[in-house]
Structure 1
Amino acid sequence: MQTVTDPVEMQTISEKLRLGRQLIGVVMTMGALHEGHISLVKLAREQAGTVILTIFVNPTQFGPNEDFHRYPRPFEQDAALARSAGVDYLFAPEAGAIYPEGFSTAISCSGVSDLLEGEKRPGHFSGVATVVTKLLNITRPHLAVFGEKDAQQLAVIRRVVTDLNIPVKVVAAPTMRESNGLAVSSRNIYLTAGQRESAGAIWRSLQHALDRLAAGETGLKELAEATATMIASESGFRVDYVAFVDEETFMPAERALKGRSYRILAAVFADGIRLIDNACFASPTHIAGEEA
């Protein structure tokens, strides 16, 4: 594995790989690697001959009261994990290399980025869209793998790639989970053992909502409210939001229609530590009581 810190050097390497007809896959991370990241690397490896993993804690996607300065940065451990996972190139630039003096460009993506995380974290998705676009331009991959745990982020990236005609295939990877259903996340290290166990209630509540949909319920707004109440009943939990969106448009959805897919998303504070999760439901082609 070769570690690269200079964007121009990384571009040069990628260009040579492309000229050599190598298929390049990229996995973008902020470090603090875990089994979820490794699953993305494995998926990239299945589809590409060369895998680039990026580690960059992006300051522009953190709000003023968020955890940028204390975000875990165990670089040596991350490098060892990347090497053992079969990463070919580790791109780990400093902030000044990505945002040099005089940098003044930002990418915004309206619509899909306006609600939920976009509303709760102003400027977050502009920071994500900008850094992802830069990293795609630097690494020049044929495909980029992102996890479904950050479902709205994935939707924003797909929108940006489509709208800006970026020649890359966006590949979605399933969410990795701990034994109790808690979505694997770098921020899970902030949780105590008790909080970690209790946080499994988020996934159980989302699954309960999907079970009710499968049983024939169609009122998504009411079901989201009931799910929020269920999560909030767990001691030490405070719900930021629970909402359903249409899987294709990512716009808010209040009633399940036949043949459509929906995603329920949740953001929950566990004694101040913010956790997100989501689950997808595909409506049957016929719902009782709905006209054809």
Structure 2
Amino acid sequence: MTGSFEVDVESDSEWLAAMNELGPACREMLRIWAEMEGEEEQLSNYTPRMEEIFRCFSSGSQHPADEIADALRDSRDLMIAVNEKHLELVQGALKTWHGTAADDFEVYLASMKEASRKYENALVGVSLLVEAYRSLVLSMRRDVVALVQRWIAAMEAEEQTQAKIGLAIASAFVALIGTFATAGGATGLVVAALGGGIGIEIEQMGASSYFEIMTSLVHQGEDIVHGVNRARAKIEKGFRDLTEDITGTKLGEVRPARPQIITAPSFDPDDFSLSEEFQRGHPVPAPGGPLVEEPKPEKGPESDIDEHGTDVYPEQVMR
């Protein structure tokens, strides 16, 4: 085996094509050297393992992560606008509103502001996890390129060494979490999940035969896959921790309960007299009835009325 191995690790299509070509070629070389050096009985052990590591090397795609990251940035901008513009606009419009209903709505509005901040923080956390995934994919590919280059050099070299080589994935997340070291909330949970090193090193190619160099490729490839799986587990933990922070007992913080609807017994819809421009076809409340009708209770798993007859968000209903 001579030459070099170069591939654009940021091109999903180019990477997949390279792995689809390299994997079968390496398996064929493993077979050839096993037969030439009398190691055929070991093929049943190493061939499936080599096939598996190249399957893992081919997995993962960084391009969708870019699209997801763009969508998350747009979502975060929207949440910032909700908090800094829309909710403040509502707050200003209610300055002359007084009474029990106004007080209830004031509490609700404050809860909505806090919920939007929590959403914003969660979006930052998700963005960090998506970037961590992309970083992991690219770091794995760089490690594989370095591995293949060392393998080629080993096949060409007269003497082999056993020097330790650190994996790139061991520091895949360091740059990502550096600016969030003191982050709180959902982002803090993600930083905590991604923290800590992977702690894996692999040896330089070292062997006394070409077949052993081929088996060394398998062992070192498995080391890379092991490191990737450990890093992936950190990302998965980050998603679980973030999800738990905005669901279950925390759901009320991101979807605060609606304020009570309060209408005086003497309410007369004729006195309300909204112009058609503002009524916009909505039904006019009946005399003596509520200003806004409560949803009618429904039966079945899709109902958003709890056992007390209270209207709740569908997400807050136990299915």
**Same fold? TM cut 0.5:** no
- With the length of structure 1 as denominator, give the TM-score of the two structures: 0.23
Larger Cα Rg: Structure 1 or Structure 2?
Answer: 2
Structure number with the bigger relative contact order (C-alpha 8 A, sep ≥ 6) is: 2
